[in-house]
Amino acid sequence: MQLRPQSRGVIHAVSPEPFVAPSNRPNFLAEEEDRRVIVEGMKIARHIVEQAPMDVFRDMEMNPGPNCCTDADWLDFARSNGQTIYHICGTCRMGTDEKAVADPTLKLRGIEGLRIVDASIMPKMLSGNIQAAVFIIAEKATDMILADAAR
């Protein structure tokens, strides 16, 4: 997996109705850097598994198989078999400019009394599981909500 992907997708609401699915274009592997990292990572994994200490654990390579040799082969395998871990973030950017969806106190611009308290306000993907970062966002949001309530 590419922990710091350069490719960026988009997700858009297509209706004000809550049960209408959004338009989602993940745009995986759109950037050359992402394609290079995925291909090199798979080559490294194959190299590790081919080492003698791994003999007792390995019988044969089923996928992508021994015929996968060129970078184009590897990339084709990644495109056909790759999956995401769905740690979506950055869809409701926090900031102070006109394009920011939430302000620095996590308040949704344009709707009074609503805050965004999840990974969508994160400006960039983390290099690992986002759970701890989401907990921190929630803890900070709790502090801000309680402070506002005390006023």
For residue 126, give the nearest of 142, 114, 137, 141 by alpha carbon. 137
pLDDT at 2: 81
- 41-45, 60-64, 86-90, 105-109: segment of lowest average pLDDT: 86-90
pLDDT tens-place string over residues 46-81: 999 999 999 999 999 999 999 999 999 999 999 999
Q: Which residues are catalytic?
A: 87
What's the pLDDT band for 9 if we cut at 50, 70, 90?
A: confident
Q: Are 34 and 6 in contact (CB under 8 A)?
A: yes
What rounded mean pLDDT belongs to the chain?
Answer: 92
For domain 1-84, the CATH architecture is: 2-Layer Sandwich (3.30)
Model confidence band, residue 90 (pLDDT cutoffs 50, 70, 90): confident
Domains in the chain: boundaries = 1-84, 87-151
Q: Which of 28, 33, 32 is nearest to 8 (CA)?
A: 28
